């Protein structure tokens, strides 16, 4: 399992690096605070696989509230042929602790 810290993700964002950022939280969580990831709730991920097919060979970074759901999503995507999937350690809780509630 590949993990990325909030500091590493922030640096990638600041450097305008290319990656796919996916928020696997629920819509209400995404509305409260997000860092720009595409919202695909964990429960909707199996139905979104076809839509994500173009990203199978790209770097994909997943996040949730604490890193737990995104870890499960990471395993699911890897089992479905995604090769470069990262889980944001600590999720949005760690982001808020490190940077507050801003991108």
The predicted pLDDT at position 101 comes to: 82
> Which residues are tagged catalytic?
64
Whether the predicted pLDDT of 1 surpasses 90: no
The predicted pLDDT at position 103 comes to: 61
Question: What tens digit of pLDDT does each residue of 57-91 get?
Answer: 999 999 999 999 999 999 999 999 999 999 999 99
* % helix, strand, coil for the chain, step of 5: 45, 20, 35
Task: Give residue limits of the domains in the chain.
Answer: 2-99
Question: What tens digit of pLDDT does each residue of 4-21 get?
Answer: 999 999 999 999 999 999
Question: What tens digit of pLDDT does each residue of 36-55 get?
Answer: 999 999 999 999 999 999 99
- Give, in order, the Cα–Cα distances in Å from 49 to each of 12, 16, 46, 53, 82: 25, 25, 6, 6, 10
What is the rounded distance in angstroms from the CA atom of residue 82 to the CA atom of residue 54?
Answer: 10
The topology under which CATH files domain 2-99 is Oxidized Rhodanese; domain 1 (3.40.250)
């Amino acid at each position: 399992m590949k993990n990325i810290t909030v500091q590493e993700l922030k640096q990638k964002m600041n450097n305008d690096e290319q990656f796919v950022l996916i928020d696997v939280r629920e819509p209400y969580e995404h509305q409260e605070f997000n860092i720009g990831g595409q919202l695909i709730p964990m429960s909707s991920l199996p139905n979104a696989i076809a839509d994500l097919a173009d990203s199978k060979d790209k770097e994909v970074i997943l996040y949730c509230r604490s890193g737990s759901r995104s870890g499960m999503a990471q395993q699911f995507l890897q089992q479905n042929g995604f090769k470069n999937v990262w889980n944001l350690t600590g999720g949005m809780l760690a982001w808020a602790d490190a940077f507050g509630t801003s991108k």
